[in-house]
């Protein structure tokens, strides 16, 4: 009898890599980093003592052992998810308003919300997209139940659930980054993405100008794809047709930003608690503390299987 057990989340990543043929795409869909997915696969191979992918294969081509594992992995996950749904969903119902910038609603949340719907089919989630600063005001007034936002410099409270690396982006096949001054597509004044872009360029003495201001990621994408401007985005939001700009192209390195989870004051409903804890669990899975083992999520969305399921970090008031 083997002295190890297969981790549910690792199996989920393995299936995704096979289906997409890409570690990069798997990382994007799961809201994680490429090294985290690679490490999962390496640990899986080390654990079972067998190679799962053919060496020197451009696309992730499976070995015979990999094909066998894939079949079993799909069956295990199907039964796992079905069991959770049947055990947990009857206990929770209600309506929850979730506020978040469209950047995160488009690239971080779809897979998580899809799983949440399967687990809690009687919970209705209303998604409200807006910029982070007004969303924090809305959740503090109780007009939004939960808000997932980017931490601005004057924010206090909230739960740190994830960090996102910022990257310089331009359109693929464009030479916008060579312009002097650099044309920028940015979020409105007061947004930390904008602040980091301008501060970083000024620190290295590069001239810049504003070519586009947009409250939505769609406007930034339009400016990038057309060759009008360079922008900065979270790494998870990089899509085909975009190209990252590196330090060797005379663009300064950028920091990570904090993603905070807020909930409205007062006693939350069971549905709001379930969604809040579900988001905290799956957004923060590997983004802050590194790769962790998977756990069961109980009827209120909390993790149940050990020390790795501890609560996300509580922020101190900003200075």
- pLDDT for the residue numbered 18: 87
Burial zone of 317 (CB within 10 Å; 0-12 exposed, 13-18 middle, 19+ buried): exposed
pLDDT at 315 over 80: no
Task: Say which residue, 291 or 155, is predicted with more confidence.
Answer: 155
Query: CA separation (Å) from 256 to 23, 67, 166, 221, 247?
Result: 21, 38, 6, 20, 16
What is the average pLDDT across 16-37? Answer: 85
pLDDT at 310 over 60: no
- pLDDT for the residue numbered 86: 64
Tokens of 210: 């504003």
pLDDT at 2 over 60: no
Tell me if 135 sits within 8 A of 143, measured CB to CB: no
How far apart are alpha carbons 259 and 285 in whole angstroms?
13
Q: Which letter does DSSP use for residue 284 in this model?
A: S
What is the average pLDDT across 296-309? Answer: 34
Structural domains of the chain ordered from first start = 8-87 (1.10.10.10), 95-319 (3.40.190.290)
Query: pLDDT tens, 85-105?
Result: 667 666 788 999 999 999 999
Find, among 134, 122, 156, 136, the residue nearest to 263 by Cα: 136
Write down the pTM of the prediction: 0.66
Cα–chain-centroid distance for residue 105? 9
In this structure, is the dihedral angle defined by the CA atoms of residues 63, 58, 166 and 186, taken in order, positive or negative?
negative
């Amino acid at each position: 009898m083997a002295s190890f057990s297969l981790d549910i989340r690792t199996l989920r990543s393995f299936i995704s890599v096979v289906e997409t043929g890409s570690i990069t795409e798997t990382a994007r869909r799961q809201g994680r980093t490429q090294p985290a997915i690679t490490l999962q696969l390496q640990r899986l191979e080390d654990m079972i003592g067998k190679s799962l992918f053919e060496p020197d294969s451009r696309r992730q081509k499976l070995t015979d052992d990999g094909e066998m594992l894939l079949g079993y992995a799909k069956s295990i996950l199907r039964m796992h998810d079905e069991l959770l749904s049947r055990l947990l969903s009857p206990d929770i119902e209600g309506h929850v308003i979730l506020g978040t910038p469209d950047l995160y609603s488009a690239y971080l949340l779809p897979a998580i919300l899809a799983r949440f719907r399967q687990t809690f089919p009687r919970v209705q989630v209303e998604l409200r997209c807006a910029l982070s600063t007004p969303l924090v005001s809305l959740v503090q007034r109780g007009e939004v139940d939960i808000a997932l936002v980017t931490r601005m410099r004057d924010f206090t409270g909230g739960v740190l659930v994830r960090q996102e690396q910022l990257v310089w982006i331009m359109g693929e096949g464009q030479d916008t980054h060579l312009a002097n001054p650099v044309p920028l597509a940015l979020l409105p004044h007061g947004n930390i993405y904008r602040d980091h872009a301008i501060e970083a360029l000024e620190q290295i003495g590069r001239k810049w100008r504003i070519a586009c201001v947009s409250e939505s990621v769609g406007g930034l994408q339009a400016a990038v794809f057309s060759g009008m401007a360079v922008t900065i985005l979270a790494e998870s939001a990089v899509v085909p047709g975009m190209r990252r700009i590196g330090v060797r192209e005379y663009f300064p390195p950028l920091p990570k930003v904090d993603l905070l989870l807020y909930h409205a004051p007062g006693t939350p409903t069971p549905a709001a608690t379930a969604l809040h804890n579900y988001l905290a669990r799956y957004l923060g899975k590997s983004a802050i503390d590194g790769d962790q083992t998977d756990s069961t999520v109980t009827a209120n969305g909390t993790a149940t299987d050990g020390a790795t399921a501890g609560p996300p970090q509580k922020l101190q008031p900003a200075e």
